[in-house]
Amino acid sequence: MTKRPVVLVVMDGVGLSDKEFGNAVKNAYTPHLDKLMSTCPNTAIRAHGLSVGLPSDGDMGNSEVGHNALGCGQIYSQGAKLVNESIESGDIFETDTWKALVNKCANGKMHFIGLLSDGNVHSHINHLFALIKRAKADGVKEVRVHALLDGRDVPETSALIYVDQLEEFLASVNDENFHACVASGGGRMKITMDRYQANWPMVEAGWKTHVLGEGRQFASAKEAIETYRAELGVIDQDLPAFVIAKDGQPVGTIEDGDSVILYNFRGDRAQEISLAFDEENFDKFDRVRKPDVMYAGMLQYDGDLQIPKNFLVYPPRIKYTLSEFLVNKGVKSYAISETQKYGHVTYFWNGNNSQKFSEELEDWVEVKSDVVPFEERPWMKSAEITDLLVEAIESNKYDFYRTNYPNGDMVGHTGNYEATLIGVEAVDLNLGRVMKAVDKVNGILIVTADHGNADEMYEKPKKEGDAPKAKTAHTLNKVPFIIYGADVEIAEGEFGLANVAATVAKLLGFEPDEHWLPAIIK
């Protein structure tokens, strides 16, 4: 094995686009990234669609599937594609879990909690429709939908499109023997969908809204959305919680004898609400009451920790990961990020495995994220991450290092262009520090990204003369792949994130695993 360490930097949400308008990557001051792109072997690689296991090339990539692909060197059916296959085959409805959910609510209600959009990153509205249709066919009498509003993976003020679709669908299935309606909701960044235990009050707010029926009451989801928009002027993801009521009473609190399905398929923002339903000795907030329900997720969001205990679709069984390969070779590795992306360089990187393959050879470091709006502190924890990463590199204790700088993605999701410029510049500033540390130890640096986001910060106006609207979703653009410090040649061909594992192995002096896609270098 070569004695030269390899450092992999993932600039989360930093895609490549030649367009200048609204491009916080191209328009930011990034002297280090510019130098790398102009002087080092580099190419653009795919980070969305089929290249990361999603149903089509029209599907945006995301950090979860991106880090799965980076860490295992293969393409697995992921997220929406996995669920699509299970629904199309009918397998999802033949599981013991589905049958038990139906039986549990024979004299109660079946509740569906999830992101209401067709963004295909956390959920898809068509999955909700398929589940409700089958619930009716299997004899469920009452269904309630708790709709989390998106505006992040889809246009920022598109919620009414999906609410209208849902209401039209529910009207088509309702009859004298079956009744379904919307019971509650709110913006995804206000209630329910926190991740990495960064903001438990968000989950508590969701619990009070969905389970207890506490909150401001409206006659319909449409009325709630229109009222909040007029009063607050915020985008969908930031709309406050609402409860649908009739004659002053919530129409869909969650009670003993009900079933609850979280129909999101992506795991990071699904785990905390799952714990609130599953854990007997839950201590993150006062649930007031824990109804006797059967709870299930669309997927099991963490297989090792069994979150949740019940689920409908099995996740991809990822084998032959880079981490396991390196452990078997005796290679010591170091992974670091802040809370917002710590799970991506650990759990998702290791093939949806929350445990290390070796306590002796793998060190994981989490820098606690600040609980503040990202646009208010767009540099996030980039300096603290770099402090520790540089210290680790200069210690010469490890052979492979990986980190994720979340700024381009997390700040990009706010839709604040000026803040995202600062976020991208903060990453570049710290990239320069990493480069110096790599030089000191005669190492090799790989710089890439897991998907685009900051590269397109505005939606194209529908009419000429209209002001551009902020774009908060990921992009379909390719991402950079750069090698610094090694005299190598980029191979010919079309590459994606799943080609990175073999490249890392090759730079470390190993023959890549036979199950992986080819390396990006000759």
* Cα angle 334, 340, 345; round to 5: 30
How far apart (Å, rounded) are the C-alpha atoms in residues 172 and 191? 29
Residues constituting the chain = 522
Only one residue has tokens 């089929």, namely: 50
3-state secondary structure 228-284: HHHHHCCCHHHCCCEEEEECCEECCCCCCCCEEEECCCCCCCCHHHHHHHHCCCCCC
Q: Which two tokens stand for residue 336?
A: 């670091």
Q: Is 274 tagged catalytic?
A: no
Kindly report the number of other CB atoms within 10 A of residue 20's CB atom.
8
Q: Is the dihedral of CA 384, 390, 395, 399 positive or negative?
A: positive
Catalytic residue among 17, 38, 51, 63: 63
Q: Alpha helices of 19-78 — where are they, by DSSP H?
A: 31-39, 63-72
What whole-number distance in Å separates Cα of residue 238 and Cα of residue 364? Answer: 32
Rounded to whole angstroms, how far apart are CA atoms 511 and 331?
14
What letter would DSSP give residue 209? I
Q: Where are the beta strands (DSSP E) in 325-421?
A: 333-338, 362-367, 400-405
Q: Which residues are catalytic?
A: 63
